[in-house]
Amino acid sequence: MKTALLLIDIQNDYFPGGKMELEGSVQAGLRAKDILDVCRAVKIPVFHVQHVSLQKGATFFLPDTDGVLIHENVKPLPDEAIIQKHYPNSFRETALLDEMKKQEVNRLIICGMMTHMCVDATVRAAFDHGFACVVIHDACAARSLSFNNETIPAAHVHGAFMAALGAVYARVLGAGDMIQKIRRLPCPASKMNVWG
């Protein structure tokens, strides 16, 4: 049994000044950094997922732009895997599943953006692939959506998706709680159960 950290689409376009700013992206990015720092310290493997938009009419995460770059807060180290994707599901037409199998990973700590799109799609796919997942709710960010002529505030979107994921697909924890669990583990923590 081995645990890895999966950071999904924490990229510049989701931050202030980007082409698709999310509500709370700065705070979520800092919580993701906290999780990343402690995972690095105890040698938990890290996988960065980077979305590159190739679809016609795409308006953000465009190739060869600053917006597509992984945010400085969680900038990958040279030995950390970067998985590029073109769909919300991080496993679709990528090497992510194969890379995790190579490292014998079967448990995931997940942070990322957007809660209601790529985080949701990836967590559900990970569950279907047999991974046990923990989603760090305050290290994810969403945006307001519209439905039936009503605006759904970002906080409600985020909360609804976390509640749905937490019902079946994942354990949902705050960054502080997860960090405490990781720090209590002997090294290498990647082989220990951080769920207990």
pLDDT digit string (tens) for 106-157? 999 999 999 999 999 999 999 999 999 999 999 999 999 999 999 999 999 9
Residue 184 is predicted with a pLDDT of 82
Domain ranges across the chain: 3-190
- Confidence check: pLDDT of 188 > 70: no
Region 3-190: CATH code: 3.40.50.850
Nearest alpha-carbon partner for 120 in 30, 8, 21, 32: 8
- Confidence check: pLDDT of 189 > 80: no
Give dist(CA 100, CA 145) in Å, integer. 33
Locus of tokens 């009419």: 57
**Sign of dihedral through CA atoms 160, 133, 139, 56?**
negative
Residue 187 is predicted with a pLDDT of 64
* Token pair of 139 as six digits: 């290290």
